[in-house]
Amino acid sequence: MRRNVGIRIGLVVAVIAIAAWYLYPPRRTINLGLDLQGGIHLVLGVQVDKALEAQVERAGDTIKADLERKGITVSHIERRGATELVVQLASPAQWKDAQPVFNEIGIFEVREADQTAGRAVLALRPREVAQLRDLAVRQGLETIRNRIDQFGVAEPSIQQQGDNRILIQLPGVQDPQRAKELIGKTALLEFKLVDDKVDPAAAAKGTVPESDELLYQRRVDKETKQETRVPFVVQKKVLLTGRDLATARVSIDQNTSEPYVSVEFNSAGAKAFADLTEANVGRRLAIILDNNVHSAPQIRERIPSGRAQITGGFTTPEATDLAIVLRAGALPAPVQVLEERTVGPSLGADSIHKGLISTAAAALAVVVFMLVYYRLSGLVADFALALNLVILMAAMAAFHATLTLPGIAGIVLTIGMAVDTNILIFERIREELRSGKTVRASIDAGFSRAFRTVIDTHVTVLVSAAILYQFGTGPVKGFAVSLAIGILASLFTAVFFTRLIFDVIYMGPRRVESISI
Amino acid sequence: MIQIFVNANYDFVGKRRWFYLLSGGLMALSIVSILLHGGLNYGIDFTGGMLIQVRYDKPVTVADVRRGLDDIKLGSAVIQQFGDAQEYLIRLPQEKDPKPEQAILSALGRAAGTGVDKRRLEFVGPQVGRDLQLQALYAVLAGMAGILIYVAIRFDFRGGMISIVAIAHDVIVTLGALSITNREMSLPVLAALLTIVGYSINDTIVVFDRIRESRGRGLRKGQSLADLVNTAINQTLSRTILTAFTTFLSALVLFLFGGEVLRDFAFALVIGVVTGTYSSVAAASLVMDWESWSRSRQRTPGKVPAKA
């Protein structure tokens, strides 16, 4: 019986044409994974609690100011945990007056109130906590994307993973260390006044006044790699931050030919800067990045231009990267590297080479085996296998799937598994022939009886692939994808295509006496 | 025409006690090896830590690498030659404050007196690793549960249970082989295990299908159930061996030519395909015992509990 042979041939030709369409030109259509082309894979954990802490501390300052405006003295206010504020009034008698202030702050709720002691514990509302956490991650993602865009990486991939993780994939980055530092830097820029009344050396050993803090200027000597730490005592009050900047760029000092970063404040920032310089002529202004004092120049006069310079013995790449992070802004919360996988371009090229050799060797071994064992039918199975691989590659191109080294392993394995279907069918046909059936009846019975088994075996492998895809990370996902596509494609090639060829050869009008199987 | 096992008539069912003995022995050996090694040898994917693959400009010895690491107080590192004598894999345990890679590379270069290039770096934080260990277990269990459900629906619950026993056997023996050869449990190896879960059941299904087909026709005169099962195994033997053989070829090619990065993964596949094929024959024999056991219980319901 030759049912609809024309239509079926048309379908096979159409599939080949579509596959060819997706595969041309080959180099552009198949995405290579980081393990093949080299690059860096980073998973960053956003320390969202730090963002909450900062928010709570800022709110604490506001509440204190609000209370004091009403003439209520606060003896003590401090953060407890990540989300709570403990407020201690100087006099419990003022408790009643303080109540409206506590109740007005929308983002907090009063968790404990001790009227006799004049003490209240305020807690961030759960809705606020969730929102702040979410915001910290999303802003972090956006900031990192900005930085990477400015750094100049072709086709970076930056996405949120889970609640508070950010997955970054940078193909072909030459200097992973630098990229990592650029991405991971919190880049919180702060301007604070140096407290000249306190001797930093003494403060480093002893006590620091409550309104001040002790920070260090850390410098690494370029030749000796020795780190020096110079202590500074600065006032806690933050005068300006990176948020007040309009832009930042690298300049070269004419005299020392050392690079530095020149920053320009936005209009509000420029006004604040002018006021602050005017009020503090003669004092020193510390420029602090991530709690490291970069420089602390003396204010000589009012600076109305809204420009400032950050010097600090930079190399040119360091200055470039600092300018980038200042332009892109600070991360709302610090990040921590949870996972890193870097593959150098040379290893990637090696892997591609070995992958190609493996694929070719496996294909050759299987093709020869099928040919020797099943002769003409084996040849048909070999063509089916070739078609399978073409469909597999085309499907990967069409779905923009990424080919990884385990993905290549999946292809190699597919070569061995795809012919299984043909073996099941051919063995069944041989059995039917032995039982005395005619060639045509044997082919019919072989295909229909083996079909159930074929479906079963496909389902079980697909179950595994699906779980692997769900579970795995990058490269392993690639394995699951190529295995699944290869197995699915073999339904078309090993069953549909092979049957079609058999029909054309053996089911014609001529009498068929024998079959080469 | 080349054919194998055309009129195969091996007495698998009659000799099934030998299978049980062999399987039991292999599993015991695997478990003992894993216990002696203090559990599975988890790689950094699961424990956290750092792995650096470096390539020197000219061949060096492990001692050269060790000296470089000692210079920067990384004495606890594990060094492994990777391919030729120019390439090494360095594993560093989880540290609070990991040394920057640049410092490690320059120390290695200084000690060996030659240039050194970083080929690969993997860093996994402790939290990520712990998460993965649990997830890996879930993944393998989920895979087995999925197969159990599918086989139970397609055949019956008994078939599903026997399949699970066969799969568990294959996974344990593969883990044992990994343990005996001192190979690491990494993410790719886990991928290989899951593939084995899905693939090794295939041959079992082929035999089950045949048993059901034969039983549908009913027992011939003078044929016992043992004969029927045995015939089914023999009739499908060529299929079982041939399908596994092509997959085995592919896995072997990966093991030989796929490079160091894929070696453990390919090794697990090779072992898994072999034990998967063997276990499908053994599992089919198990059908037999289950059958006669449940029959004896049905016939004499009081007897078994009374003795127990």
Shared-domain flag, residues A360 and A413 = yes
Residues A32 and A108 in one domain: no
Residues A212 and A323 in one domain: yes
What total of structural domains would you count in chain A?
Answer: 3
For residue B302, the model assigns a pLDDT of: 46
Q: How far apart are CA A389 and CA A364, in angstroms?
A: 13
pLDDT at A511: 80
Interchain pair B187, A473: CB under 8 A? yes
Sheet architecture: strand order including A108-114: A74-80, A84-89, A119-124, A108-114
Same domain, A266 and A395: no
Nearest to A420 among B197, B238, B243 (CB): B243
Rounded to the nearest angstrom, the minimum Cα separation between A306 and chain B is: 38
> A290 and A227, same structural domain?
yes
Ordered by where they begin, the domains of chain B are: 16-39+128-296 (1.20.1640.10), 49-124 (3.30.70.3400)
The whole-model pTM stands at 0.83
Last residue of a domain, one of A328, A357, A386: A328
- Following CA atoms A13, A19, A24, A30 in sequence, which dihedral angle do they give, to the nearest 10 degrees? -170
Considering only CB atoms, A347 lies closest to which of B119, B127, B143, namely: B119
Sheet hosting strand B87-92, strand order edge to edge = A157-161, A165-171, A39-46, A335-343, B116-124, B49-56, B87-92, B78-81
Residues of A in contact with B123 (CB under 8 A): 337, 339-341
The beta-carbon neighbor of B253 closest among A338, A346, A365 is A365
pLDDT at position B294 is 74
Distance from CA of B144 to the nearest CA of A (A): 9
A300 found inside a domain: yes
- End position of a domain, from candidates A129, A162, A195: A129
Among A36, A375, A463, most B C-beta atoms within 10 A, so best to mutate, is A463
The DSSP bridge pattern shows strands A245-252 and A240-241 to be: unpaired
Q: Quick: pLDDT tens for A36-47.
A: 988 999 999 999
Residue A448 binned pLDDT confidence (cut-offs 50, 70, 90): very high
* Residues B280 and B12: beta-carbon distance below 8 Å: no
Q: Do B187 and A476 touch (CB under 8 A)?
A: yes
For A354, the enclosing helix (H) or strand (E) is helix A345-398
Q: Which of A328, A363, A388 is the last residue of a domain?
A: A328
Q: What is the CATH number of the domain that holds A402?
A: 1.20.1640.10
A157 occurs within a structural domain: no
Do A379 and A284 belong to one domain?
Answer: no
> Domain check: are A366 and A303 in the same one?
no
* Nearest CB neighbour to A365, from listed B154, B249, B266: B249
Determine, yes or no, domain membership for A298: yes
- Tell me whether residue A264 is in a domain: yes
Domain contains A316: yes
- DSSP-derived pairing of the beta strands B49-56 and A402-403: unpaired
Across the A/B interface, how many CB contacts are shorter than 8 Å?
A: 199
Show which of residues 78-97 on chain B sit within 8 Å of chain A, judged by CB atoms: none
ipTM of the shown complex: 0.88
- pLDDT tier, A385 (very low <50, low <70, confident <90, very high otherwise): very high
Is-contact A245 A263, C-beta < 8 A?
yes
Same-domain pairing of A487 and A411: yes
Residue A443 has pLDDT above 90, yes or no: yes
What per-residue confidence (pLDDT) applies to B305? Answer: 42
Q: Could you read off the pLDDT of A308-342 as tens digits, one per residue?
A: 888 877 888 888 888 988 888 888 889 988 889 89
Cα–Cα distance, A493 to A102 (Å, whole number): 72
Q: Is residue A324 part of a domain?
A: yes
**Weakest mean pLDDT among A1-5, A197-201, A448-452:** A1-5
The answer to whether B145 contacts chain A (CB < 8 Å) is no
pLDDT at A225: 67
Task: Determine the Cα–Cα distance for residues A426 and A448; give it in Å rounded to an integer.
Answer: 12
From residue B282, how far is each of B1, B166, B223, B224, B304 by CA, in Å?
29, 8, 21, 18, 26
Nearest CA in chain A to B240: A424
Residue type, B282: A
Q: The tokens of A9 are what?
A: 């041939």
Residue A357 and residue A475 in one domain: yes
* pLDDT tens string B94-108: 777 777 788 888 889
Hey, is the C-beta of B272 within 8 angstroms of any chain A C-beta? Answer: no
Percentage above 70 pLDDT, chain A:
98
Give me the mean pLDDT over the A101-116 stretch: 84
Neighbours of B129 (CB within 10 A): 20
Assigned domain for A180 exists: no
Reported as a single tens digit per residue, the pLDDT across A111-129 is 888 888 888 899 999 998 9
- In this structure, the strands spanning A402-403 and A31-32 are parallel
Instruction: Give the residue from chain B lying closest to A341, CA to CA.
Output: B122
pLDDT band at A198 (very low <50, low <70, confident <90, very high): confident
pLDDT digits (tens, 9 = 90+) for A58-73: 888 888 888 888 888 8
Strands A108-114, A119-124: pairing kind: antiparallel
User: Are residues A355 and A429 both part of a single domain?
Assistant: yes
**A161 within some domain:** no
**pLDDT band for position A491 (cuts 50, 70, 90):** very high
Residue A432 zone, left/alpha/beta (φ > 0; ψ -120 to 50; rest):
alpha
- Would the pLDDT of A353 be above 70? yes
Mutate to test the interface with A, among B102, B151, B249 (most CBs of A within 10 A): B249
**Chain B residues touching A465 at Cβ < 8 A:** 195, 198
Model confidence at A28: pLDDT above 70: no
d(CA B279, CA A213): 70
Let me know whether A348 and A309 are in one domain: no
Identify the CATH number of the domain in which residue A123 sits: 3.30.1360
Contact call for B262 and A409, based on CB within 8 A:
yes
For residues A217 and A269, membership in a common domain is answered with yes
Facing residue for A338 by CB, picked from B55, B125, B206: B125
Q: A165 pLDDT band (50/70/90 cuts)? A: very high
Nearest chain A Cα distance for residue B15, angstroms: 26
Query: Residue A431's closest CA among B238, B11, B208, B203?
Result: B238
Chain A residues with CB inside 8 Å of B235's CB?
Answer: 431
Going through chain B in order, the beta strands assigned E by DSSP cover 49-56, 78-81, 87-92, 116-124
Residue B66: alpha-carbon gap to chain centroid: 33
- Please provide residue A223's backbone torsions phi and psi, each rounded to the nearest 5 degrees: -85, -55
What is the C-alpha to C-alpha distance for residues B131 and B127, in angstroms, rounded to an integer? 6
Domain carrying residue A445: 5-38+344-506
Q: Which pLDDT band holds residue A26 (cuts at 50, 70, 90)?
A: low
Nearby residues of B36 by Cβ (< 8 Å), 6 or more positions away: none
How far, in Å, CA of B127 to CA of A174, rounded? 28
**Three-state SS at A252:** strand
Which residues, given as ranges, of chain B have pLDDT below 70?
298-308
Give the separation between CA A370 and CA B76, rounded to whole angstroms: 51
| Nearest CA among A175, A136, A112 for reference residue A53 | A136
Q: What is the mean pLDDT of chain A?
A: 88
User: How far does B119 lie from chain A, in Å, by closest CA?
Assistant: 5
